[in-house]
Structure 1
């Protein structure tokens, strides 16, 4: 884990819990106590936390410096170009498995996650309508003549290579969307899906309200991973497509609450695209 990834994890944990122990961070980040203490010292210099005996607490920010603190926090949110190189094989497998749930004539909604970018790249050139706020998805679908691509618009973010804001939310009310495929930054212990950016979280809430069927594409590294802004509870999802779910209790709980867990390592019994 790179230092910026580790420090982002520390900030997300503090945002979620308000405090954290060095021993907890050692276990979470799989590094030595000395490394964690160096990270905490660097983050304290930036005003993001206060070190205490054996751990740290989140810094109390005044209204006057809240904008600066937000910009500093954004340093620990990985850019799209960084995330697209994480867990590549797992994301490709998840995207390939998601194809089995797409039919000719569907109206799809894809978020700006890297996993949905992998899905867009693998979509066959068949009759589909795809709405998205992702520039990368738009570029991937541009050469597919049978796919009608609609950009949600909004304020463009160079860091995330996507569009967000009120303008991006407005078109969602105008379309009958069959299925949304989306991802998140983390699946918390409390059962909530979260994003590291509140603008992304709010847009995804609106996306979920607009779609009939909801497919969460999430690799195993995001289970029990803390993040900042709440999207929804897992009960709001119809399908979870993942590469691996070790926790059998969680898998059973998901099933009890009506979430269909799809393990992409298991071969599908039928190919829906072929039969459509």
Structure 2
């Protein structure tokens, strides 16, 4: 089946059912799943559909199911800090607790403005440490800890995200030797790596990655397969992923192929974790 024929077939199926799975399309078109994923990427660029984990949703279906343009807005702009801070708090707390083992006294660490990094900041003990961040909440959280030196990146303030972004924030990063970056993202895709909901945060996180020796992604399981607007980086650009659950074998393989250490912190009374 030629590409144009596959695209027509995919569009017809989506028009009829509103959603479709990659496996079903591969079987119907008699091609590989990788070929179907490339087709979905092209159709998404044309505005026909929105890719989701394992398949795709017709653009009109996505809008209808979320009261107008709510999903489109969240993909392109992202949710506010206050809204995100209330999502999956137990998972974020467990991930943050596990991340503490990567922090050593005397180091310089960098925390992005994600709520996952804020959960980590709340658990950091009062030890000799230099912390750089663009998050207003993290600055306020660490201000009471006498042994931690906090340096704000500055830049343009966002009331919605309650952080600082822009050229000034990016320039400051070049003046420091940063041991470890702890950051999160809006979503992860098999093909595109880590992604953000807007270009300002994506660009700043790209600069953070370049300025840091070790890169650790803190991400709860709801982010895997979640659609986002702008790419931050590929999996080979990071060292460690700490999450609460990773059942998807394709994501496990992708991370393993890129030599990323995956640490899963399950919901157990003992608080034990395991790496893959």
Aligned to 2:130, the other structure's residue is in SS state: strand
Q: Which residue of 2 aligns with 1:225?
A: 226
Confirm or deny: 8 A CA contact 1:16 1:228 kept in the other structure: no
Q: Which residue of 1 aligns with 2:105?
A: 104
Distance 2:133 2:161 in 1: 13
Confirm or deny: 8 A CA contact 2:242 2:265 kept in the other structure: yes
Relative to 1, partners in 2 of residues 1:205 and 1:23: Cα closer, same or farther, differing over 3 Å? Answer: closer
Q: Which residue of 2 aligns with 1:42?
A: 68
Q: What do residues 11-32 of structure 1 show as CA deviations (whole Å, max 9, x unaligned)? A: xx9996443559979x989xxx
Runs of 5+ consecutive residues of structure 2 not aligned to the other structure: 1-40
Confirm or deny: 8 A CA contact 1:16 1:226 kept in the other structure: no
TM (norm. structure 1) is 0.74
Give the count of matched residue pairs: 228
Query: Are positions 1:244 and 2:245 aligned together?
Result: yes
Relative to 1, partners in 2 of residues 1:244 and 1:73: Cα closer, same or farther, differing over 3 Å? Answer: closer
Q: Which residue of 1 aligns with 2:272?
A: 267
> What value does the CA root-mean-square deviation take over the aligned residues?
3.2
Q: Which residue of 2 aligns with 1:138?
A: 139
**How far is the alpha carbon of 1:76 from its aligned partner?**
5.6
Distance 1:170 1:117 in 2: 23
Q: More relative contact order in 1 or in 2 (CA 8 Å, sep 6+)?
A: 1
**How far is the alpha carbon of 1:248 from its aligned partner?**
2.5
Aligned to 1:253, the other structure's residue is in SS state: helix
**How far is the alpha carbon of 1:256 from its aligned partner?**
2.7
Query: Are positions 1:159 and 2:160 aligned together?
Result: yes
Runs of 5+ consecutive residues of structure 1 not aligned to the other structure: 1-12, 50-71, 270-276
Relative to 1, partners in 2 of residues 1:192 and 1:117: Cα closer, same or farther, differing over 3 Å? Answer: same
